[in-house]
């Protein structure tokens, strides 16, 4: 079991989310804002809150990105 974070400069594929079209995106450094949600790169799953994230990462291997609602994919 393991959880890793994406790194700034890494390119990841993110499926479309409401009000935003995302495909291949380059991860940015964190802006420090708390307006967004988690995304698991391994399972291609958007996690809308910390409860969903904590439940999701309880088993298996995961790579997480923070999807800032203002700036897009960021390293957590």
What is the token pair recorded at 65? Answer: 């990105």
The DSSP H or E segment spanning 63 is strand 61-68
Per-residue pLDDT of the chain (76 residues; tens, 9 = 90+): 599 999 999 999 987 766 667 788 899 999 999 999 999 999 999 999 999 999 999 999 999 999 999 999 999 9
What is the token pair recorded at 62? Answer: 């995961």
Count of structural domains within the chain: 1
Query: Taking Cα atoms as reference points, which of 8, 67, 63 lies closest to residue 36?
Result: 67
**The predicted structure's pLDDT at residue 74:** 96
Domain hosting residue 22, numbered range: 2-74
**The predicted structure's pLDDT at residue 15:** 79
Global pTM value: 0.88
């Amino acid at each position: 079991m393991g959880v890793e974070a994406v790194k700034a400069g890494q390119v990841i594929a993110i499926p479309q989310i409401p009000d935003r079209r995302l495909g291949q995106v380059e991860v940015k450094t964190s802006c420090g804002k708390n307006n967004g949600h988690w995304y698991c790169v391994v399972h291609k799953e958007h996690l809308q809150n910390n409860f969903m994230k904590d439940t999701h990462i309880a088993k298996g291997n995961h790579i997480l990105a923070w999807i800032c609602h203002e700036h897009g994919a960021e390293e957590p």
